Amino acid sequence: MRTLMKSLIFASAAALALPAAANAAVTLGSVTPGTAPYSGPAPTFDFESAAPVSGGLVTTGSVDGVRAQPFGSTGNYWTVGPSDGSPGIMDLSSIGDIFNISFLWGSVDEYNFIDFLDGNGDVIATFSGSDIFNPANGSQTDPNLNPVVRFDISGEHVSSLTSLRLRSTSNAFETDNFAINAVPEPATWALMLLGFGAIGFGMRRRRSSDKGVRVRFA
């Protein structure tokens, strides 16, 4: 009996512990066809001043078969590929909590990959060009293949996400206008407030039934 109780307690504790871990993730939040000029979120890194990247190449303009300036990108952009260097790393360790990251992904190719890494260099999540649009054929003019993509970060990874690693097995993976968001989106705030509201409502109900009187919170 005692063993049964113990395993029940253990199972409940495990069930309580699970949701937080299961919810921790990096998810593809949105893919918005690109515009010229660019009309996405205000960039943290537009490569016009020094950005915390290593590998690949920060440059401007296009070279046939090597790299193409993303549709809607101006000035410098960051490209990764066999000709210019792959992988490329963006160091986010100076930014603290990160709730979402968006950037302009130019000429999306099926052989482009982005890894989200924690402080140990372990991969939290990986996405390929084919996750963004199908077919990911690298068009340099189709807005669908030059979109602003947003990735949402949740749970423990809000604090543990430390760097991005861009890889491309063929030319090339071109990006510009990285917007790193250190505060939750309004929708996330609404959900959090809803959660607090539900907890408050639960407490009020419990108090009412315990004491047999209605407790009002001003």
CA angle 104, 180, 146 (to 5 degrees): 5
Contact with Ca ion (CB under 5 A) among 151, 176, 178, 184: 176
Q: Cβ of residue 113: shortest distance to Ca ion, in angstroms?
A: 12
Nearer to Ca ion, 113 or 151 (CB): 113
Contact partners, residue 160, CB within 8 Å, separation at least 6: 118, 119, 124
Q: Does 46 bind Ca ion (CB under 5 A)?
A: yes
Q: Which stretch binds Ca ion (CB under 5 A): 6-14, 25-33, 38-46, 206-214?
A: 38-46
Contact with Ca ion (CB under 5 A) among 79, 107, 139, 175: 107
CB 76 within 8 A of CB 48: yes
Residue nearest to Ca ion (CB): 107
Assign residue 164 a region: left if phi > 0, alpha if psi is -120 to 50, beta otherwise?
beta
Could you give the CA distance from residue 73 to residue 71 in angstroms, rounded to a whole number? Answer: 6
Contact with Ca ion (CB under 5 A) among 8, 13, 65, 75: 75
Q: Which positions touch Ca ion (CB under 5 A)?
A: 46-47, 75-76, 107, 109, 138, 176
